[in-house]
Amino acid sequence: MSNYVKNELKIHNKNMTEIKELFCSTDDNGELFFDFEKIIPLPESLNVILDVISGYLETPARELFNKFAKDKFLAMNELEANAFMKTHQKCTISKFEFTKGFLSVLLFPDYLQEEITKELNSEDETFSARLQLLIVWYMGEIYEDNIQKYGCTTWYDWCVKNWGAKRNTCNTYINECEDCIEFETAWSAPIPIYQKMAEMYPDLDFSVRWAEEDIGTKAGFVEYTGETDGDFQYSYYDFQSKDAYETAFELWGIDPEEEGYVFDKENNTYVYCDPYEEETDELPDISEVNGLIIQPVE
C-alpha cells in the first residue's frame, strides 16, 4: 500500500483558467484533476501491461522471445506444447490472470485475437498449452520493444523514472481564490514533472510544497521563477526536522497539539506523545520508590 504525498502547487503569474487549461484534465466522473500526461505523456504501449503481470512473467516472457521464434509455437500441436510446458513451467498464464488483471485481446495481433477469444468463451478452465506459449512469447516481444524504445518494460518503471511517482495524481482540490492546486501522489513528490513544467513554459513563476502523510518524513519545496533567471530549485527537508513537521501539519490540516505533537525547544523539532495513552491514578509500588521518607503521625 502506498504512502501518499500532498502537493500544493501555486502558479503566481497565471490565472486559474489558464492553469486548468495547461495542466488539468477531466476524469470519468467529470471532475478536474492535475494530469501528468499533459506534461509528460505515458506511451500507450507501456500502459497496456499492468504491474500484476510484470512481477512474475517478465523474465520468462523475454527469455522465450529471445530464444525461440514464434513459428515454433504456431507449428506445435497440443501434445508437443504440453511436453514443452513441462520444461518451461514459468510460462503458464491462466484465464483469470488474463481477464482480471492482465491484458485486452486487442493488444495481440489478428492471428491470435480469434484464438484467444474462442478459448476465453469456452468452458475450459485454462488456455491450451500452445496458446499460452504464444501469449507469453508475444508478451516477451512487447517487453523487448519497450526496452528498446523507452528503456523500461512496463508503465510502472517508466512512471517512477519519468514522473517521480508510480502513477498519476489523485484527490485534486482546486482553490480558485488563491490560484492554487492541491493533489496527492503515490510515494514521492513528482520532481521530474515540475522540472518539465519549467522547461515547457520558461516564463512560469511557480512554487510547490509537499509532505508525505507519514508526518515528519518526506517533505520539501520547489521554486521556479522564469521571468528572472529561470533558476529551478528544489530541496528536501531533513527527516523529522521542524520544517518537515510543520509543512506536513499545514498541508494535511493537522492540529499538532490535538494529535499529540509537542515542540522540543532543545532539539528545535517536534516529538510525538500519544494523546490516547491512558492515564492512571494507581499509586506506585512502594518497593520501587527510592528514598521514601515516612513522617511519624503526631
Chain position carrying cell 488483471 = 101
The predicted structure's pLDDT at residue 109: 86
How does pLDDT run across 150-167, given as a tens digit for each residue? 888 878 889 999 999 989
pLDDT digits (tens, 9 = 90+) for 204-256: 999 999 999 999 999 999 999 876 566 889 999 999 999 999 999 999 999 99
Say which amino acid occupies 166.
K
**Angle subtended at Cα 35 by Cα 214 and Cα 244, rounded to the nearest 5 degrees:** 25
pLDDT for residue 179: 80
What's the pLDDT tens digit per position in 34-66? 999 999 998 877 766 544 455 578 889 999 999
State the Cα torsion 102-107-110-113 to the nearest 10°: 20
> Is the pLDDT reported for residue 257 higher than 50?
yes
pLDDT given at position 124: 87
d(CA 288, CA 235): 50
Supply the pLDDT for residue 225. 87
Relative orientation angle of helices 155-162 and 51-67, to the nearest 10 degrees: 110
- 4-16: average pLDDT: 93
Q: What is the amino acid identity at position 287?
A: S
Kindly compute the dihedral angle of the four CA atoms of residues 55, 60, 63, 65, in this order, to the nearest 10 degrees: -90
Q: How far is CA 118 from CA 110, 113, 114, 139, 188, in A?
A: 13, 9, 6, 19, 43
**According to the model, what pLDDT value does residue 293 have?**
45
Radius of gyration of the chain (CA): 28
Give the pLDDT of residue 21. Answer: 93
